[in-house]
Amino acid sequence: MARISYVDPVTLTDPELISDLERARRYGTPRPETQSIRSHVPAVAKAFSRAWDAIFREGIVEHELKELCRVYVSKTIECDY
């Protein structure tokens, strides 16, 4: 049984956290479940979201190369992603 709970979205009052969680739900990345867990510590959730946006949404690396990197990492750690 999981010991880490998801934050109930209706309890969030910080507009940045609400926006980040909604964007994760809409796009599926980063995973909304992990974003919800990170939201237990708002500073962590915000730092992660800002880094994610800078690297994956606003970065200069082409999407195809990012996908190739994801597959490489998954294969390297033997994840069936």
- In contact, 56 and 29? CB cutoff 8 Å: yes
Instruction: Count the domains in the chain.
Output: 1
The answer to whether residue 17 is domain-embedded is yes
d(CA 69, CA 47): 22
What range defines the domain where residue 67 resides? 12-76
Q: Does residue 5 lie within any of the structural domains?
A: no
Give per-residue pLDDT as tens, 12-66.
Answer: 999 999 999 999 999 988 889 999 999 999 999 999 999 989 888 888 888 899 8
> Residue 2 falls within a domain, yes or no?
no
**Residue 17 · residue 46 · CB < 8 Å:** yes
**Angle, helices 42-52/15-27, rounded to nearest 10 degrees:** 50
Residue 3, in any domain of the structure: no
